[in-house]
Structure 1
Amino acid sequence: MSSSEELEYPQKLLDYSDGFLISKAMFTACDLGVFDLLHEVQEPISTATIASRLNTNVDGMASLLGVCVGLGLLKVDMKNNEGYYSNTEVSSLYLVKSSPRTLYHTMMFHSNVMYMCCYFLPQAVREGKCQYERALGIPSKGIFETMYRSEESLLAFINYMDSIWNICGKDVIRAFDLSMFHTVCDLGGCSGNLAKQLVSTYKESTVTIMDLPKVVQTAKKHFVKDTEQKIHFLEGDFFNDPIPEADLYIMARIIHDWTEEKCLGLLRKIYQSCRPGGGVLLVEVLLNEDKSGPLSSQIWSLKMLVLAEGKERTPSEYTKLLTDSGFRDIECKVTGKIYDAVMGRK
Structure 2
Amino acid sequence: MMMYYSHNNYKSWHFLPEAIREGKPQYERAFGISSKDIFEALYRSEDQMKSFMGFMDSIWNICGKDVIAAFDLSVFSTVYDLGGCSGGLAKQFVSVYPESTVTILDLPKVVQTAKKLFITDEKHRIAFHEGDFFNDPIPEADLFIIARISHTWTEEKCSQLLNKIYKSCKPGGGLLLVEVLLNEDKSGPLTSQLCSLNMLVHADGKERTPSEYSKLLTASGFKDIQVKATGKIYDAILGRK
Q: In which range does the TM-score fall when normalised by the shorter chain?
A: over 0.9
Q: Given the alignment of the two structures, is residue 321 of structure 1 paired with residue 216 of structure 2, yes or no?
A: yes
- Correspondence 1:168-179 to 2 at 5 A: 168-179=63-74
Please give the secondary structure, in 1, of the residue aligned with 2:99.
coil
Structure-1 separation of matches of 2:35 and 2:60: 27
In structure 2, relative to structure 1, the CA distance for the partners of 1:265 and 1:140 (3 Å cut) is closer
Structure-2 separation of matches of 1:239 and 1:127: 27
Q: Which residue of 2 aligns with 1:166?
A: 61
Q: Which residue of 2 aligns with 1:223?
A: 118
Structure-2 separation of matches of 1:142 and 1:128: 17
Q: Given the alignment of the two structures, is residue 298 of structure 1 paired with residue 193 of structure 2, yes or no?
A: yes
Q: Which residue of 2 aligns with 1:143?
A: 38
In structure 2, relative to structure 1, the CA distance for the partners of 1:167 and 1:229 (3 Å cut) is closer
In structure 2, relative to structure 1, the CA distance for the partners of 1:140 and 1:310 (3 Å cut) is closer
| 8 Å contact kept, 1:181–1:278 | yes
Please give the secondary structure, in 2, of the residue aligned with 1:338.
coil
Aligned mate of 1:115, from 3, 10, 28: 10
- Pick 1 or 2: higher relative contact order, CA cutoff 8 A, min separation 6: 2
Q: Which residue of 2 aligns with 1:255?
A: 150
- Correspondence 1:4-19 to 2 at 5 A: none
Q: Percent identity?
A: 72
Aligned mate of 1:185, from 68, 77, 80: 80
| 8 Å contact kept, 1:207–1:230 | yes
Aligned mate of 1:214, from 94, 109, 126: 109
The structural deviation recorded for 1:141 is 4.4
Letter in 1 for 2:87: G
1:246-267 superposed Cα distances (whole Å, 9 cap, x missing partner): 0000000000000000000100
> More helix by proportion, 1 or 2?
1
| 8 Å contact kept, 1:330–1:342 | yes
Query: What TM-score, normalized by structure 2, do the two folds share?
Result: 0.98
In structure 2, relative to structure 1, the CA distance for the partners of 1:136 and 1:243 (3 Å cut) is same
Please give the secondary structure, in 1, of the residue aligned with 2:218.
helix
Q: Which residue of 1 aligns with 2:184?
A: 289
Q: Which residue of 2 aligns with 1:241?
A: 136
Letter in 2 for 1:332: V
- Correspondence 1:306-317 to 2 at 5 A: 306-317=201-212
Structure-2 separation of matches of 1:200 and 1:143: 31
The structural deviation recorded for 1:137 is 2.5
Letter in 1 for 2:157: K
Structure-1 separation of matches of 2:34 and 2:138: 30
The structural deviation recorded for 1:172 is 0.3
Structure-2 separation of matches of 1:209 and 1:301: 26
Structure-1 separation of matches of 2:231 and 2:124: 32
The structural deviation recorded for 1:229 is 5.2
Structure-1 separation of matches of 2:234 and 2:123: 25
1:15-41 superposed Cα distances (whole Å, 9 cap, x missing partner): xxxxxxxxxxxxxxxxxxxxxxxxxxx
Structure-2 separation of matches of 1:342 and 1:150: 33
Please give the secondary structure, in 1, of the residue aligned with 2:201.
helix
Q: How many residues align?
A: 241
Greater Cα radius of gyration, structure 1 or 2: 1
Moved over 4 A (4+): none
CA RMSD after TM alignment: 1.0
The structural deviation recorded for 1:129 is 1.6
| 8 Å contact kept, 1:148–1:214 | no
